[in-house]
Structure 1
Amino acid sequence: MTTFFLARHGETVWHADHRYAGNSDVGLTRRGLGQAAALGAWAVGAELDAIVASPLSRAQRSAAPAVETTGLELRTDPRLVEIDFGVAEGLTPDEIGERYPAEWAAFTEAPASAPLPGGESGRAGIARAIPALDDLVREFPDGRVLVVAHATLIRLLFCELAGMDPDGYRDLLPVLGNCNVTTIVYPWATESRAEHHPRIRLLGFDVPAVRAAV
């Protein structure tokens, strides 16, 4: 079983306006750089075996301080990129609703299943990202891996691996803090007999790096 520390990247220049940034490559704010530095300080005592990031610059830049403090190599995996929001990239929720009212309504009702025009479904994102985790499990079967990725993808993965309907991620997990740490053990040999049993053990969810357990 591998311990994964899932961290969202730092605050971006689109954050204040709540603009959708999927596969758009937007930079970090000064605050975002500070959040990344806090994640790097946390990594000092985390006994990590690997650091893996989405190839988007905001994720790589957020992982960079942890690379510096641990001496580990920064690895990137395109399967960890954020969900592509299609025509909604760079728009606010109000702007999306005004321009694409029917599509926005469908997305808000079932956000993992009904992609925005030209975009990727959340379920497709789950399908591409889980194999990335599986590959890391095979490489580090008893290891500790920091994954720096994106809010929507992490929430979707969490729901899927916790045995919950990913279409409920926006209601269940409305916010994921920048550079906060979610700690899971995966795969977890659960004893649950539920139809949708969890495949992870949760050790901490959305914990600020300054307080996250190592």
Structure 2
Amino acid sequence: MTTFFLARHGETEWHAEHRYAGSSDIGLTRHGLGQAAALGAWAVDARLDVIVASPLTRAQRSAAPSVETTGLPLRTDARLVEIDFGVAEGLTPAEIDDRHPEEWAAFSQAPASSPFTGGESGRAGIARALPVFDELAREFPDGRVLIVGHATLIRLLFCELAGMDPDGYRDLLPVLGNCSVTTIVYPWATESMAAHPNRPRIRLLGFDVPPDRASRV
């Protein structure tokens, strides 16, 4: 089984106004760069085997200090890019509701199943990103993997792997801190999985923990 450390990127230029960044390539703020540095300090003693990031700038910049402190090369994987929010990209929730009220209402009710026009459903994002975990688990059995990605995709994947309905991710997991660390062991299989296929496929060791308090187990 492989230990995965999942980290959201640092604060972006759209963060303060809560604008949906999605697949838009938005840079980090100065504060976001500081958050990335804190993640890099955590990585020093995390005994990582590999660091993988979304190709978007905010994820790569957030992973850069960890690459520097560990000496590991940075891998990027396009399958880890954030969900594309289509016509909602760059808008605040209030602006989306004003310009696309029916789509906002549908998204609010079932966010993993109701993509915005021109965008991608959360369930499609799960389908493209989950194989990354399977491939890394095969490559690094009993290894330690840092993935630097995005809040929506991480929460969707967490729900899927924990045996929960991804449409509930916004209610169950309303916030994921910038450069916080979520630690899971995957795949987590027990003898009861065959009889109970909806049981969690992960063991959770820590969720949304600031890097200065995150475990390096």
TM over 0.5: yes
| Structure 2 Cα separation of the partners of residues 109 and 81 of structure 1 | 24
- How far 1:7 moved relative to its partner? 0.2
Could you say what secondary structure the match of 1:24 adopts?
Answer: coil
What's the CA shift string for 1:127-169, capped at 9, x where partnerless?
0000011110111011000000000000000000000000000
What's the CA shift string for 1:58-95, capped at 9, x where partnerless?
00000000000000000000000000000000000000
Could you say what secondary structure the match of 2:185 adopts?
Answer: strand
Could you say what secondary structure the match of 1:146 adopts?
Answer: strand
| 1:203 equivalent in structure 2 | 205
| Structure 2 Cα separation of the partners of residues 136 and 19 of structure 1 | 32
Match runs of 1:43-62 below 5 Å? 43-62=43-62
| 1:167 equivalent in structure 2 | 167
| 2:92 equivalent in structure 1 | 92
| 1:184 equivalent in structure 2 | 184
Report whether the alignment pairs 1:20 with 2:20. yes
Could you say what secondary structure the match of 1:145 adopts?
Answer: strand
Could you say what secondary structure the match of 2:126 adopts?
Answer: helix
| Structure 2 Cα separation of the partners of residues 67 and 194 of structure 1 | 39
| 1:79 equivalent in structure 2 | 79
Could you say what secondary structure the match of 2:207 adopts?
Answer: strand
| Structure 2 Cα separation of the partners of residues 132 and 189 of structure 1 | 18
What's the CA shift string for 1:157-204, capped at 9, x where partnerless?
000000000000000000000000000000001346545110000000
Could you say what secondary structure the match of 1:199 adopts?
Answer: coil
Could you say what secondary structure the match of 2:136 adopts?
Answer: helix
For 1:13, the aligned partner's letter is E
Structure 2: gaps of 5 or more residues: none
| Structure 1 Cα separation of the partners of residues 197 and 40 of structure 2 | 39
| 2:36 equivalent in structure 1 | 36
Could you say what secondary structure the match of 2:33 adopts?
Answer: helix
The verdict on how the C-alpha distance between 1:195 and 1:139 changes in structure 2, with shifts beyond 3 A counting, is closer
Q: What is the CA RMSD across the aligned residues, in angstroms? A: 0.8
Structure 1: gaps of 5 or more residues: none
Match runs of 1:67-146 below 5 Å? 67-146=67-146
- How far 1:20 moved relative to its partner? 0.1
Bigger mean CA deviation after superposition, 177-186 or 194-203 = 194-203
| Structure 2 Cα separation of the partners of residues 196 and 95 of structure 1 | 37
Could you say what secondary structure the match of 1:120 adopts?
Answer: coil
Could you say what secondary structure the match of 1:141 adopts?
Answer: coil
Report whether the alignment pairs 1:5 with 2:14. no
- How far 1:117 moved relative to its partner? 1.0
Could you say what secondary structure the match of 1:154 adopts?
Answer: helix
The normalised TM-score by structure 2 is 0.97
